[in-house]
Structures are given as C-alpha cells and as structure tokens.
A and B are shown apart, each in its own frame.
Chain A
Amino acid sequence: MRKKQNAATYYKNPALQESIIRYYKEKQLNFVVKHSNYNTQIIGSEATLKFIQTEHPIRVFVAYNKIVKDLKESPKTVEILQGEWSTENFDSRNGLKPAFYKKILNLDISSAYPYCLWINKLITQDTFNYLMGMPKTERLPAIGMIAKKSVWITYTAGKAEEWELKEGFYANIFFYVIQQITDLMAWAAEIAGDSFLFYWVDGIFLKPTISKKKLAEITGIFAEQGYYFKYEKVENCNIVRDGDKLLINMIKNGQEKPYQMYDKNLARNFTKVLQALENAEQDPVFLS
C-alpha cells in the first residue's frame, strides 16, 4: 500500500518555491516539481508541498469531472480528438486604421463555451445546466481544465535528470470549442465587411454605422447556430497601431478594457503579394 505523504498547501510564492527547490538540491534529494496553470507542486519522498494560484471551490472540480464523464460517453469525442484545431481566437479587419470611436457596437455570445459543448452534443443537458448554474468566473476554469497542461521535472540526487510535458487527454476538445466560436466570429466579420473592426474570443466589435440588414444577418446566424447573444455598451474606443501590434482601449460597461493583439493580416497580405509576384515570374501573361 502506498504510504500516505504529508501535504501542505500555500498560496503561490515564487521566492519560497525557489528556496525550497534550492534546499532540496543542496541536500541531494530525489523529488519532482510539477508546474501547471493552476499550481506548482514539489513532490518529495516525505512530503508534498502545493502552491496554488487561485483556490477554486469544489464545484469547479465537480463540473470538470462531469464534463470529462460526458466526453467519455459522447459519440463525437473520438472524431474531434483526431482533428487539428486552431487556438487563435482573435482577428482584426484587414487594413484597420488607427482611430478613435466615441461609440462602437459589441455583440457578445452568451456563455459561448458551455453552449458550444452542448450544441455539439459533447455534454449532457444535466452537465450543461450544472455549468450554467455556476458564476462565469468558475465556469471558465471548469471548462479550461480539460486543456490542462503540466511540466514534470524529475530531480535525482539534487540534479534535474528528466522532464515531461503532460497534456489533458481531452485538450483537443477544448481547442475544437475555441475554433467553433472563432469560425462563427469570422463568419460574422465577413458579413459585416467594412463595418467590422475586430473580434476577440466570443465578442465581435463593429462600427456603429453598420446597416441594420447586416446586423440582422449576423444575429440571425448566431441564433440559427443555437447561440444567445447580447449587445454590450462600448464607448471611447481608441485603436492604436504599433508596427504589427494593435493596442485597443475602450470603456466596456463602464469599465476600462485593454486589448492587445498582433495584426495577422499583415503577414497574410505579404504572403499573397509574394505568391502573386512568383506566379507573375512564371506567367508572363500576368504582366501584359
């Protein structure tokens, strides 16, 4: 039977963590250091010390376990796990100019990730209801846990001998969810055309001059795909460009909100131009 270890939990303290690791190294002990998004653990032969960043209530772990249980039973899981999904969940209009907008329009999909899991039959109604009964601040970590990632560094006689990256078995499901929402945003951006400014995760930002027809088309698509959405009040939106970086500041629902993203269009445009120039060299008709 495995011997029960002494365990202690502390709030994240990099200085303390480092001094403990240094002490273990000096004493030439065998131990493992595990780093993840949520905590750092120093697992020794006698004790396990856990340093946590945020203390989640037990229902977050319950929700996570419910999701994993559903994923094991969902017929779509295997297919999605085999796919490749992008995790880039932002984009801006090609050629977005620095500008200041007194008011802009923001359409946010409500509870995008739980709905996406449910619409795609990856979780049951019961799990969906459980998630929706949680506050947003707990719902997101519960779903995000399926993409948990940790690095394990094994020390033998005080020396780091090997390391291993461990990823959650269902991480690809989380990436699939991200891409589903991103695809929806990209679709809306295409409809908005010149009125599109940028999108970020599950919210799209549009010029207030967008026509009612286009807006109706966008909201129609959101509804058709089974998502609920809401309009958010956004004021004083300031877009600044620094090379290929876009720095966007705004007041959203009375609170200041900064965004920083790189403009993917610049690299895309350059590739397209180079491609066309290369084709031109091979096809003289192109130049005539």
Chain B
Amino acid sequence: MAKKKTQQYQDRKYNYPKGFTKYGKSKTGFMPAAQGARTFVTNNFDKIKSGSIPFDSLTQREKRVYRGKNNPTFENLYKYGDKTYYDPTRTLRKSLDNDPALKGKRDLTNLLKPEDFKNLFDQRLNPTKYADGTNSTFFNFKKGDKKQFYRDESGTLLDIVTKLNKIKKSGRNIRVIDTKGVIHLGVKAIDVMRKFESDKLLEVTETAKEGQQIQLQIVYLSTDYNPFTNTVTYNLNNVQVNNLKDTP
C-alpha cells in the first residue's frame, strides 16, 4: 500500500512590485516564496494585526513570518554590527516606533553611532525599572508566611520559573547558563533557575526578622532569544538582585 502523503501547503505566487528593477534592468515574474512571504507580511503587517486581512487567509509560511514579527521577543531583538541585543525593557521599541523614519527598525547599525547605541543599552534602558514576567522574579511576602510572588497592575505574576514552564509547554527551548558557565537545557535548566532563586531568597530571608516584609527582585539582564533555534537563554552570571527593603 502506498504511503499516505502529507498534504503540502501551497505558497502564494508573489509578483515583484510593479516597476521593480535591479541595476537598471526590469525584473519580472515571481519572487522566491520565502522573500515573497516576508515582503507580503511586512507590507501588510498592520492590516493583519487589525484583522482587515484575516489571519486564517495567510499561508503557513506567512503565518510563521507573522508570528515571528508579532512576537514581543522578536520585536525587542536588535542588531548592531554583527551582534544581536535584546532589550528586556521593551522601551526602545516604543521610542523607535514613535518616529515614522525609525518605525519597526531592528537593525540599528547604520542608524546610530556605536557609542550612542552602547549608551542606550548600558545607561538609558534601565532594566530594573521596567522588569516584567519575562525577565524577572519578584518575591513579596512576610517572613513566616507562605512564599508569594508579586503580581503587577496588569495581573502578570512576576515569577520567572512559572513563566519558563509555560514557555516550555508552548514548544520553545529553554537554555540556562549557570554561575559556573555550564549550560543546562529543558527541565534541568528550569531546576537550575529555581535553585538559583531559592538560594538568593534564602540569603535575604535569613537576615530578615520574623514578620518582616521581604521584597526581593531578581532581574535577568541578559535574556536572549534565538528565533532560528526557537531557544530562549538566561544567563545567571548577568543578574541584578534588588533587595527592595534596603531601597529607600
């Protein structure tokens, strides 16, 4: 019996835009499917987002491109030279989108001076200020009570371990670099993260008095996402720990 063939989706035929020329020569016919899907989604991104082009009407490839572009991690991933940078604060995206000429730009190589780009990432984007559930954990409870996490105004629980479990279930790969530089993957990676947070919490709890409010924020400064391998990486060597009870 012949093996049942999986149904293949069909790409749309993407015509080159009218008048498209390269080095003065007319280029006619169809674009390669991958380039076409990217061009189509890029040109119609706002329409797809608003629903005037239904998401269901997209081809598989277009859906994949759209999901990538619509992903908060993707849109906060920047390129400068040959390096990739992630802005966990997500403020740079909003600042860039504020200007029509910079809207949607992610490769900032030719848009900012190297020293200005460094200044932006090192000084201006204050990760602790805009810490959220994807890059931080926030313990908030009284010593002696059950351990609890802070929930922000939008209702997001600031607990990175819970978040990572959710991310893992959605099919994304997890990678954690521990304090010794060893790389852990999957469930083991989440365990390493949990252990790391427990140790930090223990340090703070031990010094606190019974009944004292414990507010501990752990922000993972180098949070990186590789869209090609669909892997999210947390580096435990680049972490900011804020014991907020010490903060005036």
Contact = CB atoms under 8 A, between A and B. Distances in A.
A and B: interacting chains:
yes
A280 B112 contact: no
Contacts of B226: none
Interface residues of A, number: 29
B110 A95 contact: yes
A276 B113 contact: no
Interface string A174-196: 00000000000000000000000
A276 B96 CA distance: 8
A209 B22 contact: yes
B9 interface: no
Interface in A257-272: 263, 265-267, 269-270, 272
Interface stretch (A30-38, A96-104, A146-154): A96-104
Given A211-B19, A273-B92, A266 B113 contact: yes
Interface in B91-141: 91-92, 94-96, 98-99, 101-102, 105, 109-114, 116, 120, 124-125, 130
A29 B54 CA distance: 89
A266 B119 CA distance: 14
A27 interface: no
A272 B102 contact: yes
B55 interface: no
A186 to B, nearest CB: 13
A246 B146 CA distance: 61
B107 to A, nearest CB: 8
Contacts of B98: 272, 276
B19 A212 contact: yes
B115 to A, nearest CB: 9
A277 B112 contact: no
Contacts of B111: 94-95, 265-266, 269
Interface string A46-77: 00000000000000000000000000000000
B114 A243 contact: yes
A287 B76 CA distance: 13
Given A241-B110, A270-B116, A274-B124, A280 B20 contact: no
Nearest to A269: B111
A280 B113 contact: no
Nearest to B24: A208
Interface in B136-172: none
Contact of B113 (A98, A102, A209, A270): A270
Interface in B28-74: none
A266 to B, nearest CB: 5
Smallest CB-CB A-B distances: 8 pairs? A276-B95, A270-B116, A276-B98, A95-B110, A208-B24, A273-B95, A209-B21, A95-B111
16 contacts: A94-B101, A95-B110, A102-B24, A241-B110, A266-B111, A266-B113, A269-B112, A270-B113, A272-B98, A272-B99, A272-B102, A273-B120, A276-B99, A277-B125, A287-B91, A287-B94
Given A95-B111, A269-B99, 10 more contacts: A94-B111, A95-B110, A209-B21, A209-B22, A243-B114, A269-B102, A273-B99, A273-B102, A276-B98, A277-B91
Interface of A: 94-98, 101-103, 208-209, 211-212, 241, 243-244, 263, 265-267, 269-270, 272-274, 276-277, 280, 286-287
